[in-house]
Structure 1
Amino acid sequence: MADQITQIFTSAYPSGTNPGAVVSINFKGFQFIKSSGVTHLETPNRIDAKTNFRMASVSKQFTAKAIHELIKADKLTLDTRISTFFPNLKGKVGEIKVQHLLNHSSGIADYESLMGDQIKQPLSDADVLRIIEPSETLFFEPGSRFRYSNTAYCLLALIVEQLTGESYANTMKTMFFDPFNMKNSLLYDVNRKIPNRAYGYHPQKDRFIFADQSLTSSTLGDGGVYTSASDYQKWLKNLKKEMKGLNVEEDYLNRLNSMPVKGPITYSYGWFRGLDSTNEPIWFHSGESTGFHNIVLFYPKTGEHVLLFSNRDDLLIAEVFDKIMKTLGIAVQGIDNQQLFTWLSNVYANQIP
């Protein structure tokens, strides 16, 4: 099996001098890690298991877990209205509950659609709040349906800051990164050096264009985590530890907070959750940002995982991950034989297949 997956990976990412990727697998006793490419075209540093990639929307599970910890500490509840934290929100927008932000059932507009041409500098989570404060309408009644919104997770990060009295970045460090020994993981900060950093690129014909930042890549709650394959495995290990002895369906995911997406697939606490072909619970998420594409798949009962992080924003990742899943015999119910990365990409665009 190692030879098959090596062939799949190296056929897609053959060059040691281009932006590349890292793949990590722990599945049914098979453990595998492989990397290819460089972190920056202007340096000789090669991608490896300790390279820090921008996680984009894979970051949402960190934000959701912080909210989960604050709920356990009785700092808020799933039913707390967000006007508690943001009193300037108007009309129906202020009636949104925390659970609606967590499971993308708020009906709130994605801030990207409201930015306008006047935005010239990268946005913060606080900027997102200011952008949506004039809005009084929602796409639908909160809690009635699923509609993916990055705005929701920017607001959740601001809630974390209010309740902890710390910056979101410091809370991530003290709540997760330090206790889990994720030594190199951190939140993006334009003024802070990121160790072992991969820079993002966009393919253009036969070359790669530097594409590491955009106006929407500095928000934190929806996509600001930088981590490596090595550190992220520690994140999953600790998540699995929390699952030990628990009913996965009822405890962490919480049926009351799980919103149907399509068929057996639902969304809860920063993860899409579903079933594989043997009816085992399986969680998954991808991330798409300027210069970066990532995808993770996780079995909460066993801790098994498949992840692929890349510092290039082409769609090659969809084909590679699909071939790896098929080689491992993993299939997700409800995506109608589509590539998982492509299916997720359509969901983010609110075009649920």
Structure 2
Amino acid sequence: MSMFSKLFFSVSVTAFSLGFAQHINTQKLNDYFKALDENHKVMGSFAIADKGKIIYTNAVGFADVESKKKADINTVYRIGSITKTFTAVLVMKAVEDKKLALDTKLSYFFPKVENADKITISDLLSHRSGIRSYTDNPLYSVYYTQPITKEKLVEIIEKAGSDFEPGSQFTYSNSNYTLLAYILEKVYKSSYSELVNTFIAQPLHLKYTKVGGKIDSSKNNAHSYAYEGNTYIKSPETDMSVPGGAGAIVSTPSELIAFMNGLISGKLISNNSFKTMKQFKDGYGFGLFEMPLNDKKGIGHNGSIDGFQSGLFYVADGEKTFSMITNQSGYDHQNIFNTLASAAYGKDITIPTFEVVTLSEEELQPLVGTYVTKEMPLKFNIFIKNKTLMAQATGQGEFPLEATSKTSFKFDMAGITIDFDPAKKLFVIKQGSDATTFTKE
């Protein structure tokens, strides 16, 4: 891999004067992405639509770092779990075609899965089946980059077992949507890839949206990366036989918006089927999340696979749609979505600054310790690693803290700030509008 001490990427922007585009402060939104770009916080593509019409697109960074191939608005990215929305649409299409019913039992297709005689298609769609996600198994890290047969993956899911009684609660599980794709293949006697093409891509004239395969940079496919130590490190590549109907689709932000518009307008399934998808319980419907966007509420899905992160959300109040796919990110995606929403609704946006200070280990040492709060059964371990202040919450991974002053720190990827008061032996952690005080034990 090439080593880069510092990279500055040019911003590729296309803005259209359609609908309510005059409300967007295009230059300021461009400056926002330029700030993220120049500070290595994000590489990827972004789009906004008004009433289904694209009014803003932007691409920053590289699709392929090694060849220095820049991303553009037609760069194709892996979208991860937004695939689940596609799968849910195909299931609703199968219901309309009388090939499935929402109360069909899983036992009809995969009787060896635990509780299969109690689990319905509806339970799978809404993540209420209780089936443990195969991606949570430590063995997943051993095989995910290699091709896998359906039979083997079903066997893995069967052995994983169940976490709760079907229908009793919500727990997100990739196993649900992998099984749904296999069920679709059985009832249509066609591959999942062919079903995506026949029932979604072709009717909407989507050129780039399909079930992905091995990444090919010559076809403007993006690789994904992590930015560490002034270097872009290419992420391992999941073999797309593994995520299947839970995460195997590739697309662009503009085509994701076209997909959402097709779903909303009844071009893919009936309005009644779409209403069924929007019957949210515990924040999830059928392949759809509810998500706050500033003072409004969006519906859609997000995704993560390898080093890719993605999001697609529609806001009925104002009929705006927002989509992004990144192939490197060290910044809070909620902040990006809120900024896109602010721009789309004519509100001012804030250009982030990324000034940091360097502190010695002697200056960091007074902050080290274990911190607790009465508000929740959670502890934070603050420690020094490789001359960097680190934080780790109970049961979670460690993350680095960047100093903005001698007592203030941030973690941009999650939108977290931590302000220490060494004299009082406490810190206040903020994420969004939430603030919690932790005291040193």
Q: TM-score range by the shorter chain?
A: 0.7 to 0.9
Structure 1 position 105 matched with structure 2 position 128: yes
Instruction: Report the Cα offset of residue 115 of structure 1.
Output: 5.0
Evaluate the alpha carbon distance shift between residue 277 and residue 56 of structure 1 in structure 2; reply closer, same or farther with a 3 A threshold: closer
TM-score, normalised by the number of residues in structure 1: 0.80
User: In proportion to residue count, which structure has more strand?
Assistant: 2
Distance 1:330 1:239 in 2: 26
- Cα distance change, pair 273–36 in 1 and its aligned pair in 2 (3 A): same
Q: For residues 192 and 290 of structure 1, what CA distance do their matches in structure 2 show? A: 15
Task: Select which of 290, 296, 300 maps to 1:273.
Answer: 290
TM-score (norm 2): 0.65
Which residue is equivalent to 2:432? none
- Say if 1:125 and 1:157, in contact at 8 Å, map to a contact too: no
Please say which structure displays the higher CA radius of gyration.
Answer: 2
Q: CA RMSD in A?
A: 3.4
Q: Deviations over 1:23-43 (max 9, x none)?
A: 111248992111111110122
Residue 83 of structure 2 is aligned to residue 62 of structure 1: no
1:78-157 alignment to 2 at 5 Å? 78-90=102-114, 92-114=115-137, 116=139, 119-120=142-143, 122=146, 124=148, 126=150, 127-136=152-161, 138-157=162-181
Deviates more, 1:229-238 or 1:69-78: 229-238
- Deviation, structure 1 residue 143: 1.4
Deviation at 1:71, TM superposition (A): 0.4
Say whether the 8 Å CA contact 2:293–2:341 is kept in structure 1.
no
Q: Tell me: CA distance 1:18–1:46, structure 2 relative to 1, closer, same or farther (3 Å).
A: farther
- State the 1:146 CA deviation: 1.1
Q: Contact between 1:93 and 1:135, CA under 8 Å: does it hold in 2?
A: no
Cα separation, partners in 2 of 1:4 and 1:168, compared to 1, 3 Å = same
Paired residue type of 2:122? Q
Question: Sequence identity of aligned pairs in percent?
Answer: 22
The question of 1:260 aligning with 2:281 is answered yes
Letter of the 1:267 partner, please give it.
Answer: Y
Q: Are 2:226 and 2:233, in contact at CA under 8 Å, matched by a contact in 1?
A: yes
Counterpart residue number, 2:321: 305
Is 1:284 paired with 2:297?
no
The structure-2 alpha-carbon separation of the partners of 1:102 and 1:147, relative to structure 1 and needing over 3 Å to count, comes to same
Partner of 1:200 in structure 2? 224
| Secondary structure of residue in 2 paired with 1:147 | coil
Structure 2 residue runs of 5 or longer lacking an equivalent are: 1-24, 348-412, 416-441
Of 139-148 and 313-322, deviating more is 313-322
Moved more, 266-275 or 177-186: 266-275
In structure 1, C-alpha distance between the alignment counterparts of 2:54 and 2:219, rounded to whole Å: 30
Report the secondary structure of 2:46's partner residue: strand
Q: State how far apart, in whole Å, the 2-side matches of 1:267 and 1:253 are.
A: 13
Range that drifts further, 235-244 or 36-45: 235-244
Q: CA deviation at 1:242?
A: 0.8
Q: Structure 1 residues 118 and 144, CA, compared in 2 at 3 Å: closer, same or farther?
A: closer
Matched, 1:296 2:312: yes
DSSP 3-state at the match of 1:59: helix
How many residues of Structure 1 are paired with residues of Structure 2 in the alignment?
322
User: Deviation string for 1:249-284 (max 9, x for gaps)?
Assistant: x641317x83422xxxx31221113677777x6303
Per-residue displacement from partner, 1:206-226 (whole Å, max 9, x unpaired)?
Answer: 111011414788421111110
Asked if 1:36 is matched to 2:60, the reply is yes
1:224 aligned to which of 238, 248, 266:
248
Unaligned runs of 5+ in 1: 332-340, 344-353
